Amino acid sequence: MAADGPFPKRLPEFSRAVDDSEDSDWDGGEDQGGDSGRLKASDVRSCAMRLSPAARQQLAAGDRRVLDCSTLLVGVGPAACGFLTACVLGDDAEILGLISCGFPEAGLANSLGQTALGDFGCFLYRLKCNPQVLVCHAAAPVPPADCHEFVELLLSVLDVESLDLAVLGTQPLTSFQSAEPASSLVGPLLRCLRSSAMLGQGKAAGDAVQQLEPPNLLTGLPAQLLSVCQMRRVPAAAFVAFVAEADCDGEPHRLLPPDPAAMAAFRPALACQPLRYCRPAWPPNSDRVMRLLCRQPGANGSSAYLYT
């Protein structure tokens, strides 16, 4: 880039203190109501959804333009997605669509054929053996700024009024707040938070998973999903596994299969609504699991590691 004079071009500041006023020249990113002309294209973010021809046909055929779905399972992060793949999805699923985040223009999205781990698409599947169940894999990190739009897009093609929802996610074990010292915590820990609608309809059967204790909070996409379900009175449950930090989502370069121990942390959730009505398979067939999870080019059937 050529400079206008002897000195290099000064870059705009990106970071601002929290107490800067709205009169500042730069407010740090997306601005829906301000001077968008001063924003860089890479700072304008959006999510985009691409549907399969079959899904678009189903939307067009119905009066309400929604997909047939009574149960939506959402996996957030590699461990949760691996668990849903192994125990629910299997290899008998149909791709209905995907959601991509972080594109500078709305409408852009990966193609449905880009299923490699490194493509960072969040796929939506339908179980062929149980077509009322849809599974969404958000294995790629969804930044907090994109969570709102992601959830709006996902729920826009579903009949929210007749939906049960479960979201599985992971958070670092070090973030779990307990009266006991952090050094004494033994992970993984599984906790559950349910919406009022699920509790109110008597759907919270059993105590298979301990309730999330205050002051612990859900963050990210699980938080956004459960918040929307709470607001819109959708029966929903969020299962969060507190695991070692390396097994949480948020690492775009992570192309290795998830840790089996982190995946197994979700096992008690199979006894809870709505997962138990999706006829999950436990224990999963180990060969099938490895075949499903090992989508790296060059990986052999028994190991996902390129270097052994």
Chain positions contacting other proteins, by CB under 8 A: 16-19, 21-22, 27-34, 43, 45, 144-145, 147-149, 177-183, 193-196, 211-224, 226-228, 230-232, 238
Report the alpha-carbon distance of residue 224 to residue 307 in Å, rounded: 38
CB closer to other proteins out of 189 and 228:
228
Least distance between other proteins and beta carbon 218 (Å): 5
Rg of the chain over CA atoms, in angstroms?
21
Q: For the residues of 221-278, what is the DSSP string, one character each?
A: HHHHHHHHHHHTT--EEEEEEEE-GGGSS--TT--SPPPHHHHHTTGGGGGSTTGGGG
Six-digit token pair at 103? Answer: 């594109």
Least distance between other proteins and beta carbon 153 (Å): 12
CB closer to other proteins out of 96 and 234:
234
- Between strands 189-194 and 236-243, the pairing is antiparallel
CB closer to other proteins out of 85 and 171:
171
Six-digit token pair at 28? Answer: 């740090």
Is there a cis peptide before residue 144, judged by omega within 30 degrees of 0? no
CB closer to other proteins out of 37 and 53:
37
Length, in residues, of the chain: 308
Q: Assign residue 50 a region: left if phi > 0, alpha if psi is -120 to 50, beta otherwise? A: beta
Report the alpha-carbon distance of residue 252 to residue 82 in Å, rounded: 16
Q: Which residue bears the tokens 């149960």?
A: 71
Report the alpha-carbon distance of residue 94 to residue 131 in Å, rounded: 9
**In which element (H, E) is residue 61 found?**
helix 53-61
